[in-house]
Amino acid sequence: MDKQQYAQQLQLLTKAPVLVDAPMSSYTTWKIGGPADLLLQPADTDELAAIMAYLHEHDLPWIAIGNGSNLLVGDKGIRGAVIRTANCLTGTRWLGDTVTAGAGVLLPRLAIEAAERSLGGLAFAGGIPGSIGGAVRMNAGAYGYNIGPLVTAIEVVEYNGHKRTIGAEELTFAYRNSNLFDVPAIVANVTLQLPACPREESLAQIRHYNQQRCLKQPLEFPSCGSVFRNPEGDHAGRLVEVTGLRGLRVGNAQVSVKHGNFIVNLGGATAADVRGVIEEVQQRVFANTGFKLEPEVKMIGEF
């Protein structure tokens, strides 16, 4: 079968339109990426399970994304299916100090909802443009905090469409990493336990961190957030800056003049432009400081 025929069959399993040759530049925060053969946006875990079972049965390659932050998609796009959870799996269930959130719930929304219920713990995430599903896989963090310690359980859909729950005792989190990368499944729901915090205090913390982001980060341009992992004992942004690389440009991709660990899309940048900047930064930082910067951003698709 060709991709149009696969799309017709998959459409029977989901309410949202199955898109063919979907431009991934529309689904990434960098606004970069070629076409995906198929784009699927399941409305709930039942649809996700049915889609996964179909893809498994037909041996179709696929990849799951959330809000498309921390992601560089190749200019030639993605062969097979992209399963997007952002703006799809977006339900939340609150019970006391716990919340179970769909993988597609955006972190800023969750932080505000928690604050309105006099709960804290998520203020650091109030400006991160990612979804909770991707955040737990990457153990997203900022300002010295990480999402991992808040997680009590994760519901996943395995590659064959089966659902199961992973308890906190089975999870391990590290800097920008977790053992979820070793689990053959897609995150569907995440349960967090949050500390009590007065509403106004929690909202004030969110405002404070967001003000810091506005001052220090190039929010006026599309980006993926931080590009490089911080090496042990130092910060990637500082190493880029002391090497004199602010403003380094390849095509329409540029190291931000505001923050050394951001590469921004000045308009019409390609994945090749961004990779060119990344490689040049790595070479010059290593020559100048001896540090080998490792990308935090995930690169997918065909370049």
pLDDT single digits (tens) 252-302:
999 999 999 999 999 999 999 999 999 999 999 999 999 999 999 999 999
Q: Write down the catalytic residue from 79, 109, 117, 176.
A: 176
Over range 219-231, report the average pLDDT. 95
Q: What is the pTM of this model?
A: 0.92
What DSSP letter does each residue of 17-53 carry, written as one string? PPEEEEEGGGSSTT----EEEEEE--SSHHHHHHHHH
Question: Is 227 found in the same domain as 126?
Answer: no
Residue 247 has pLDDT above 90, yes or no: yes
Distances (CA, A) of 124 to 107, 285, 296: 10, 29, 18
CATH number of the domain bearing residue 49: 3.30.43.10
Question: Is 224 found in the same domain as 211?
Answer: no
- Rounded to a whole number of angstroms, the distance between the first and last alpha carbons of the chain is 25
Over range 69-74, report the average pLDDT. 96
Q: Residue 42, Cα to own-chain centre: how many angstroms?
A: 17
Looking at residue 185, what is its pLDDT?
93
Residue 194 has pLDDT above 90, yes or no: yes
What is the per-residue pLDDT across 127-180, written as a single tens digit (0 to 9) for each? 999 999 999 999 999 999 999 999 999 999 999 999 999 999 999 999 999 999
Question: Is 178 found in the same domain as 144?
Answer: yes
Looking at residue 1, what is its pLDDT?
85
Determine the Cα–Cα distance for residues 186 and 51; give it in Å rounded to an integer: 12
Question: Is 154 found in the same domain as 78?
Answer: no
Residue 125 has pLDDT above 90, yes or no: yes
Q: Write down the catalytic residue from 69, 178, 226, 256.
A: 226
Domain endpoint, select from 59, 84, 109? 84
Domain interval for residue 157: 92-215
CATH number of the domain bearing residue 134: 3.30.465.10
Strands (E), the chain: 19-23, 35-40, 62-65, 71-73, 78-84, 92-95, 98-102, 141-142, 145-146, 151-158, 163-167, 173-174, 177-178, 185-193, 249-250, 253-255, 263-265, 298-300
Looking at residue 240, what is its pLDDT?
98
- Annotated active-site residue 226? The verdict is yes
Band the pLDDT of 87: cuts 50, 70, 90: confident
Domain endpoint, select from 159, 194, 215? 215
Determine the Cα–Cα distance for residues 44 and 67; give it in Å rounded to an integer: 16
What is the per-residue pLDDT across 23-50, written as a single tens digit (0 to 9) for each? 999 999 999 999 999 999 999 999 999 9
Residue 121 has pLDDT above 90, yes or no: yes
- Annotated active-site residue 176? The verdict is yes
Domain endpoint, select from 84, 108, 128? 84
User: What mean pLDDT is reported for the chain?
Assistant: 96
Residue 114 has pLDDT above 90, yes or no: yes
Determine the Cα–Cα distance for residues 179 and 174; give it in Å rounded to an integer: 9
Question: Is 249 found in the same domain as 183?
Answer: no
* Nearest alpha carbon to residue 131 among 64, 222, 66, 206: 66
As beta bridge partners, residue 298 has 71
Handedness of CA 46, 72, 220, 126 (dihedral sign): positive
Tokens 């130092």 label which residue? 234
Over range 213-234, report the average pLDDT. 94
Q: Which residues of 48-85 are buried (b: 16+ CB within 10 A; e: fewer)?
A: bbbbbbbbeeeebebbbbbbbbbbbbbbebbbbbbbbb
Number of domains the chain is built from? 3
Residues contacting 110, CB < 8 A, separation 6+: 92, 99, 101, 122, 125, 132
Determine the Cα–Cα distance for residues 260 and 228; give it in Å rounded to an integer: 10
Total length of the chain = 303
Residue 82 has pLDDT above 90, yes or no: yes
- Which tokens sit at 108? 């800023």
As beta bridge partners, residue 131 has 106
Residue 63 has pLDDT above 90, yes or no: yes
Q: How many helices and strands, by DSSP H and E, does the chain display?
A: 7, 18
% of the chain surpassing 90 pLDDT: 97
Question: Is 239 found in the same domain as 288?
Answer: yes
